[in-house]
Amino acid sequence: MNAPRFAAAILLSTAFMAAGCGHPQARAAGDTTVTLEYGGLQRQYIVHYPANRPQGLLPAVLAFHGGGGNAENMAGSFGFDKASDADGFIAVYPNGYEKSWNDGRGDDTNASAANIDDVGFVAAVIDRIIANDSVDPTRVYATGMSNGGMFTEDLGCRLSGKLAAIAPVAGPLPQADVSACTPTHSLPVLEIHGTSDPIVPYGGGVVRVTSGHHGAGSSPVLSVDATQQLWREKNSCDAATTTTLPQRTDDGTTVTVQSSDCANGAEVELYSIAEGGHTWPDGPQYLPQVIVGKVTHQFDATDVIWQFFAQFHA
């Protein structure tokens, strides 16, 4: 990214790190905003119940917004409410601390700089939805984009006992989290990332715009390939096989899928989007391509993530 474009990206960091800014849809009448006191703070999350709610215990998908964003952004932009209504799971949208998550990168996010116990907060949210919302404790899943994706990776490392699978988008594992990455069971992982992401480098390194105090990052993330290798090692996986998705439209992107079979029926997958940007596949082009890169329309990330999750129980 050249200097003027990079400067523009910094100026607009709050906007695009919201991961789906623009025009969130109105909340459904039956949605609930819950306040939960945790760590001396009043934390909140939104719960969306599926239309024509099925009987019995339901799966739950926790979806984490990007840095600079909030729960409403995440709920309104990426279609998890629609998937919830169609497939009968509960969608949960937690709100970060000062629009960010403690993903382990120190001053690179407001929550990390303040040493907020976000892992503990999410554990408390999961306990609450199991107790109050008829959630199946063996079918709780986590996904997120950007800072929310990196935080999802960290949850897989540190909260695997409460999760059946994770799916980070545009968010490799921060290097600072590697030593504490000790999942307690084989954890299915689906990762989605564009090779031309101008914000969170596919090849690893510092995140070029953050929600922290200094605008640009200083704490590096692993490369996508290194993150995949870490999860294959943690899950005792076979060698990955690679396929190419058929072209659905001529949008300048192509998608390859790497998939590994792992111990205890787990899988590790990567959707690698050639020429894809810091965007949600089949989601909005929330800022111009010169700032955030291309949105691929070769697949719908929300549908792919749910179909991946639906295979697995903890």
DSSP string covering the chain, please? --HHHHHHHHHTHHHHHTSS-S-PPPPPTT-EEEEEEETTEEEEEEEEPPTTPPSS-EEEEEEEPPTT--HHHHHHHS-HHHHHHHHT-EEEEEPPBTTB---S-GGGSHHHHTT--HHHHHHHHHHHHHHHS-EEEEEEEEEEETHHHHHHHHHHHH-GGG-SEEEEES-PPBGGGGGG---SS---EEEEEETT-SSS-TT-B--SS-SSSSSS--S-B--HHHHHHHHHHHTTPPPPEEEEPPP-S-SS-EEEEEEEE-GGG-EEEEEEEETB-SS-TTS---S-HHHH-BPP-SS-HHHHHHHHHTT---
pLDDT score at 50: 95
pLDDT score at 193: 98
pLDDT score at 213: 56
pTM of the full structure: 0.92
Q: What is the mean pLDDT of each run of 10 residues along the chain (314 residues)?
A: 42 42 48 95 97 92 96 93 96 97 94 96 98 97 98 98 98 97 97 98 92 72 98 98 97 98 98 98 94 97 98 96
pLDDT score at 53: 87
pLDDT score at 24: 41
